[in-house]
Amino acid sequence: MTVARRGLLIILSSPSGAGKSTLAKRLRAWDDTLQFSVSATTRAPRPGEVDGKDYYFVSKDRFFAMVAEADMLEHAEVFGNHYGSPKGPVQEAIESGRDVLFDIDWQGAQQINNSSLAENVLSIFILPPSLTELHRRLVARGQDSEAVIAGRMQKSIEEIRHWAEYDYVLVNEDLERTAADLITIVRAERLRRHRQPQLVGQVRALEAQFGELI
């Protein structure tokens, strides 16, 4: 069966508190066929976590072997544990016409843009309307101390400096409008010519019909 279109590898990045996770949920609520990429990790499973659903739990040796064999689209070390995005399931999804969603930072985005699946990437950066508003949102969460929030704010500056590396940039001042804009972007990108392989057959059929008419 011919796949109607190639899938998208959708990257969402933003500083902490800019609304990336909420917007990802809105995007999946709009189209529940969108799937998050399942990461591989060297850390031990937590209670209730399922291998292959929450994470792929692998040994350090296996993880480093996947990196060496270019089987990771992106990877990083976080608090002594290693995390990465296996290429195989993402490639299979894209070739089957399914879109895969990545909630990652600019470093992960750079790695994917340098991978063999770069041509399938749609990258979107979410900016806060101001640093004052970003700080207010982090405080309103009620999850972190002032010291942690200060660290997140400092990291936000580094994240924001990479905004120009993305295909689209949205300023999340109003969540409803930003979510609508995000959906519009995905709709349009799905219709790009190179993502619709069936168009070649459609055009050839039209040419054949033209030949029959003259």
pLDDT at 1: 47
- How is the beta sheet containing 56-57 ordered, strand by strand? 56-57, 40-41, 81-86, 72-78
In angstroms, the CA 214 to CA 204 distance is 16
User: Which residue do the tokens 């609520």 mark?
Assistant: 29
By DSSP bridging, strand 9-13 and strand 100-103 are parallel
> Three-class SS of residue 19?
coil
Report which residue type is found at 20.
K
- pTM, rounded to two decimals: 0.85
Per-residue confidence (pLDDT) for residue 196, from 0 to 100: 87
| Orientation angle between helical segments 146-160 and 131-141, nearest 10 degrees | 140
Which residue ranges of the chain lie beneath pLDDT 70? Answer: 1-3, 214
3-state secondary structure of 2: coil
For 106, the 3-state DSSP assignment is helix
| pLDDT tens sequence across 20-40 | 999 999 999 999 999 999 999
Q: Which domains does the chain have, with CATH numbers?
A: 9-37+98-213 (3.40.50.300)
pLDDT in tens, 82-112: 999 999 999 999 999 999 999 899 999 999 9
> Residue 109 corresponds to which amino acid?
A
Q: How far is CA 57 from CA 50, 60, 86, in A?
A: 9, 10, 12
Q: What is the pLDDT of residue 120?
A: 95
Asked if 37 contacts 93 with a C-beta cutoff of 8 angstroms, the reply is no
pLDDT of residue 152: 85
Phi-psi region of 100 (alpha: psi -120 to 50; beta: other; left: phi over 0): beta
